[in-house]
Each structure stands twice: as structure tokens, then as C-alpha cells.
Structure 1
């Protein structure tokens, strides 16, 4: 399966063709929790019951009763892309090669009923040297956006959009040991642990590594976060581009359905993040969707895994082009998550942000008004 490389130029004429790559996104798959009042502070909720101990992964049991979970807010939002652009020009020039969303850009989405922004950014810009201080200018941009968004009542999911890599070297290698990944998250947690509206998304779409290596890295990152005293929600992706459709597959090594049961969190405030697109190979490169039911079909087994093991999930990326098949497929997928809200904590559309131009998945508003896909999401935002 092929996946989308990042945009290298902010000129959004580059996004006009439907088959062009997605900025910072890889494609693939999904999110749990019982809905309560939107905007509730997640880390102040009562902790859920202890997670089921690791065991051999079992196929979803359609007859199993839903696992009781503590009430949690349902996150409904969008990835505001831009800070992860320009990977080939690291560190790049802010405003020319990459951009953070304006502090007031969240207002449109909040008025529509969204309560979450997923914020992609690049590890290399934030931490130019492993195990060293975060870049002060980049950190200030990150903190400024987070402060403005959360002060307005919107939660922010931090997203190092790096595919489990730093300068192309995979986490767990000699160049990027797991301790360096843990160091990044220790430093981020120290900056944001006092803001319960901040969610810590460990990494975007790990791939081309052993699943066990990724699980060990994830556990190191989680432990480093909790060691700071942070109680924030942590989202953990799977290996193999974290596709919901491939959660039980072994094409990338040990299936996520088996290996991810070894992920542990002393804070018991964990969500498993998957991504899911509806085109032929789930990569999100095309504006076409396989069928009106493909979204539900690709989420169903992961939903069953969440239910069987008492886990919660997040659909961290999904999208579809402006056509009737995609509209019906996206609507059915959102309804599936709503119907299984004891397992699904929420979702974030890919994508919004100021540099998308005519990119076919963008829901950034135009001067003429809302994008068509925003109208698909609206019934699920109230």
C-alpha cells in the first residue's frame, strides 16, 4: 500500500489535483468513550476500570456485551495542518515553508460545534538536537496556539507528524533510541501537563518497523509523560500506518490487535488512535470511495477489538471527496461511531488549515462559504 508524502511547498496550487499527496498524512484508519457534555475536561474525569491484562488477540465477538466505561467527552474535530509542511527544508522558514494556524482560526470550527483540534507539527523543528532543549521560537508558536485554542474551550491533540522517525531514522534505531523519544515527551509533558484540555498524541502513523519496537517506544513515551505527573489523555497509534482496516493484519509484522495489548499506562487514561480513508487502498490519495458501506466495513473489526478488550479508540484521520458515494460512506461511518460510543472517543477530519487551496478534502471555509464536506459533518456536531 502506498501513502501520502508531505507537501514540500506552501503554494496550494500544488493541491489542486485530486491525486496529489496529502500534507503530512499517511492514510489508513480510528477512536472510544460514552458521550457526555462536549468540552468537558477529559483528565478530570474519574479513571476507568483497570484495563484488561495483555492476552492473545481474539477476533471481535459480535455477541459480547459492551464494556462499561466511565463517561467521557466525545471529541469531534479537525486536523489543522501547516506546521508539518516543508519537511525537505528543515528547519525551514516560518510563514514561507510552513505555518501554524492563526490563534483565532479555531473559531470557525468551534462555532460549527467542533471541540477538538489535532495539531500536526515536526519533531525536528521543535527539537533540533535529540535529548536537548526544545527550540524556543518553535515552542512559543506551539504554546501560543494551544493557549488560545484551549482558552476558548477547544481541546488540542498534539501530533508529532513524523511516522516514528526523526530525520528519517526510525525510533528504536541506534540513531534515534527509544530514550530520545521519551525525552521529547517528557519535555512536552512538562510544558502542557497543567492544561487538561491538551491531549498527547504520541506519534503519527508508525510504519516499516516491527510492531514490538513501536510498542516498546510507545511505552517509553507514556512512562516519561506520567513521570512528570501529567494526567492528560494520551492517544497511541498502531504500527502499519495505524489503519483500522489492517488492525488484525500481519503484513507489517505482529498484528496491532495482538501487540498493542502490551501498551500500558499507569495513568489509565489512554486512547488507541487509528486512521481510515475510503479509497481503494485506504491511503487517502484519491477523492473516490469504494462504496457507501466501505467505511463501516473497515472500522467494524477495530470496534469489536475495542469492545472485547475494554479499550477506547479515536479516529484520528478520515476524509472523502465531494461525491455522493463518499458522502454516504462518511455519514455511515460517523453513525457507526455514534452507535458504538462506548468504544469510540471521537474523531478528527483530515484536514483544515490556511494553505489548502482547492485540496479536495479541505474543510477550511472559503469566501463563498462552507466546504461541502462540512455539511456532511454538521449533523454529528450537535
Structure 2
């Protein structure tokens, strides 16, 4: 009996599936920010030519028109928005400059993410834990939410990479901010909830971050639009400052995916990146293919980074000018765009079993259909160990080091610095019309253990498809 004939008993269907949102960080507003939350405004390079930075407007138009991207992350420091006056009304001049970048983003039709890039700090003090008060942080977000409340395509990224803090107290702080954003009129937009240890996918669950953040609700008690924020790099210390990739992170992302499925919740990978080294071309592509294959719980991926970074920056995704247009580098073309446009998901029906059963309620972001009683379906395909395109196993590096231990150069002027960490069209059907992004959903799945071997065979086939 041929292999393909045997597989015909197992493959119920092969459907195209991918995260609903794909994009790139358009960096520059974060340049100079350190992990202690100090962000000298003199280092800011807002990514617009008219503001002295990179041509972020042209980049975003290119990514949307040529690559069908639909989400951009726009980092900015709290200090810049407030003109270094903690707790004050936001500076109208600086906010106006940041808004120019946001409007350039909105003009493309994409979703645009506000990213406060302060590591849960202001000049060394932790928000709500000895530094800025919760009220001051709430004040920042109340002003931003009020400004953008009428725009359904704004995304609120509460904070870039909190670290070394009490996660339960931090979750209480985030709850106050979520309540304030909703009460300011931004009733339905996505809000990203970041955990400690630099929002590291490898420790989001084990650190208690994910559990604490999932307790946050909207004022009406729902969780619609509330997403777990997820970051991860592929180098040895998870800093995003080394050229070689040592993991494809599938084990780390599988842990987060399992947690989200158990909770009936979703997350968004808002930062991940790699160099163009051969090891990264393999591992980064494999990681992003895995994220796309688990689009029921991962609704988006925003990669790091373009904007005011030059094309020589280690993790650069900045497109270069060619003729009258822009072209992507190999990393962006193959590991960000191609893994998304060519994403596939396998839905497996094991050999008939009288013990098999499946029930489902609600819908996932992947838009999968309902199960028929008496038929056994698999969860979205997730190998227990990561495999790169070569089929070799890799391991996931937890990494507790800062994602900004080394500040790379590469800004437009060639001497500006930016944190290495702040550097991930809809899926097959996107969220169900009755299921808001981030809202709770439930699914019960059972499958014989024998399907594991079949999964391994299918993965090999997919890697060569």
C-alpha cells in the first residue's frame, strides 16, 4: 500500500490558513530607549522623511500594495509624547508629529499599533511599583484612546516588554488601563496585554504572566479584543542582538498555543525578528510557518523591523529602492511574506474510531467549521518538537536576558541607536462574525495517540510542499 494511499485515510482536508494580520514594525520613535525606561528624546527618529527619519510612509505603502500586509507597529517613547513631563497633558507638538506617522499608516488601510516602548518604566522607576503611578499611566492611555477612539483600525499595545516586576500587580495596572481605554470611547479595538520577562513566549506561561493577564476584562466583563502580547527572538539569549539563530521556537510557541486553547483565548505576536544568516533563514521561516499554522490562537505576526533603520541593521526588514519602487530583502521576502502567503494547515481525520468524538462551540480565528458527532478531528497541527526546513530537530531557548543588552546602530544618520528588542489579509476566513477577536471560545477535541506518527510524516511533506 503506497504512502499516499495510507495518508488518504488520514487527511480530511488541506486548507490554506494563516494569521489574520501580518506586518512589520516601522521603528524610529523608540530609538535610544533603554530597558530601564530611559528614552532620550534627542535620539528619536520618527520614520517619516519630513521628520528627518526613514521613509516609513513609502515602506508601508509598499508592504500593503506589494505584499498584502495589513498591520504595522509604530513604536514611540512615553518621554517623547509627554515632552519629558511625567503626568502632564501630552505635548501637542510631539503628539502631532507621532500622529503624522499614525495617519500615514492609516492611509494604507492597515491596522496601526501604538507601541509605548518604555519597558514598563520611566527613567528607572517601574509603573505602579515605585515609579510612575497607575494614575499617570492611565492618564497617558486615556489621552491616546480619546484621540483615536473613532478609528476601528487602531491597536493599543499597552507596553513594550515589561521585565523584572511583580506580574500580579502589573496585571492590576493593565486592568485599570483597559478600563480607561474602553471608557474613553475605544469600545472594540484590539488591546495587547504584555507579560514580564520581556514578554518572552518561552516564559509567558511558566512565569504566571499569561494566567494573570487573562483575568483582565472589559468594563462589561467580556474579554473581546483583549489579546495576549507575545515576543520572541531566535538567538542564544533571546536578545535579538546576535547574527546566528539557535532555535526555531516551535516548542515555546506550542506552549503558548496550548495555554490559549485551554483558556479559549487568543494572542498576537507583535515582535520577532532575525538576521539574514543562513541559520536564521531556516529557523525564522520555520517559526513563522508554525505561527501561521496555529492561526486559531495567533491572530497576527509583526516582524522587527523597518522604518528608520538602514538596510545594514542586523535585523533589518527595510526595503531598498529599485527603480520607481521598493524591494524586500531575502529575509522579509521568504520568512515574513512567503510563509504567510503560502501558509497551509492540515486538518487530520484519524482512522475511524468508535471512541472518537468532537464537539465545538464558538469559532476560532482560523475559521474552522463545526465538527460532526462521532468523528475525530485533530487540533491545528503542532509538532511536539520543532523542525526546520531541513527536518532536523531544534530546541527552544528560554533566555532571560534583556532583548536590549546591546543597542545596535543603523538608524538613518548611521549613528543613532535603538533597542534590539523593539525591533511579527485575513486567514482562511478570519474570526467568525459572531466571535470578536480575543473573545472567549471553547472547543473540545479528542484524537487517538497513534495520530502522532502521522503528524510527523505530514510535517515532512509540508516542508517540501
TM-score relative to the length of structure 1: 0.75
1:353·1:364 contact (CA, 8 Å) conserved in 2?
yes
1:136 and 2:92 aligned: yes
Compared CA separation, residues 175 and 375, structure 1 to 2 (3 A): closer
Hey, what does 2:42 align to over in structure 1?
A: 92
Q: Take 1:141 and 1:285, find their aligned partners in 2: how far apart are those partners?
A: 29
Hey, what does 1:272 align to over in structure 2?
A: 228
Hey, what does 1:31 align to over in structure 2?
A: none
1:374 and 2:332 aligned: yes
Compared CA separation, residues 105 and 375, structure 1 to 2 (3 A): closer
Hey, what does 1:196 align to over in structure 2?
A: 152
1:330 and 2:289 aligned: no
Q: Take 1:249 and 1:90, find their aligned partners in 2: how far apart are those partners?
A: 34
Give 1:133 deviation, angstroms: 1.2
Unaligned runs of 5+ in 2: 1-17, 342-465
Which gives a bigger RCO, structure 1 or 2 (Cα 8 Å, sep 6+)? 1
Hey, what does 1:302 align to over in structure 2?
A: 256
Q: Take 1:261 and 1:93, find their aligned partners in 2: how far apart are those partners?
A: 35
1:345 and 2:299 aligned: yes
1:100·1:141 contact (CA, 8 Å) conserved in 2?
no
Q: Take 1:331 and 1:223, find their aligned partners in 2: how far apart are those partners?
A: 37
Q: Take 1:93 and 1:290, find their aligned partners in 2: how far apart are those partners?
A: 32
Deviations 1:295-345, CA, capped at 9 Å, x for gaps: 212211001111110111111111122133322222222222222111011
Give 1:168 deviation, angstroms: 2.0
Q: Take 2:269 and 2:253, find their aligned partners in 1: how far apart are those partners?
A: 9
Q: Take 1:93 and 1:297, find their aligned partners in 2: how far apart are those partners?
A: 37
The DSSP-based 3-state class of the residue aligned with 1:105 is helix
Hey, what does 1:151 align to over in structure 2?
A: 107
1:206 and 2:195 aligned: no
Hey, what does 2:122 align to over in structure 1?
A: 166
**Paired residues for 1:281-296 under 5 Å:** 281-291=237-247, 294-296=248-250
1:112·1:381 contact (CA, 8 Å) conserved in 2?
no
Give 1:257 deviation, angstroms: 3.4
Hey, what does 1:234 align to over in structure 2?
A: 191
Give 1:94 deviation, angstroms: 5.9
Q: Take 1:227 and 1:215, find their aligned partners in 2: how far apart are those partners?
A: 18
Compared CA separation, residues 90 and 257, structure 1 to 2 (3 A): closer
Q: Take 1:108 and 1:117, find their aligned partners in 2: how far apart are those partners?
A: 12
Equivalent pairs counted in the alignment come to 306
2:81·2:90 contact (CA, 8 Å) conserved in 1?
yes
Aligned with residue 75 of structure 1, among 21, 24, 34 = 21
Hey, what does 1:33 align to over in structure 2?
A: none
Structure with the greater alpha carbon radius of gyration? 2
Compared CA separation, residues 100 and 129, structure 1 to 2 (3 A): farther
Unaligned runs of 5+ in 1: 1-71
Compared CA separation, residues 346 and 102, structure 1 to 2 (3 A): closer
Aligned with residue 112 of structure 1, among 52, 67, 90 = 67
1:262 and 2:221 aligned: no
Deviations 1:8-38, CA, capped at 9 Å, x for gaps: xxxxxxxxxxxxxxxxxxxxxxxxxxxxxxx
Q: Take 1:239 and 1:89, find their aligned partners in 2: how far apart are those partners?
A: 20
The DSSP-based 3-state class of the residue aligned with 2:313 is coil
Q: Take 2:302 and 2:133, find their aligned partners in 1: how far apart are those partners?
A: 30
Give 1:261 deviation, angstroms: 2.8
Hey, what does 2:80 align to over in structure 1?
A: 125
1:273·1:316 contact (CA, 8 Å) conserved in 2?
yes
| Structure whose residues are more often strand by fraction | 2
2:76·2:117 contact (CA, 8 Å) conserved in 1?
yes
2:306·2:316 contact (CA, 8 Å) conserved in 1?
yes
Compared CA separation, residues 89 and 196, structure 1 to 2 (3 A): closer
Compared CA separation, residues 340 and 354, structure 1 to 2 (3 A): same
Aligned-pair Cα RMSD in Å:
2.4
1:101·1:145 contact (CA, 8 Å) conserved in 2?
no
Deviations 1:78-135, CA, capped at 9 Å, x for gaps: 1111011134673327659984754343112112221111010000110232332111
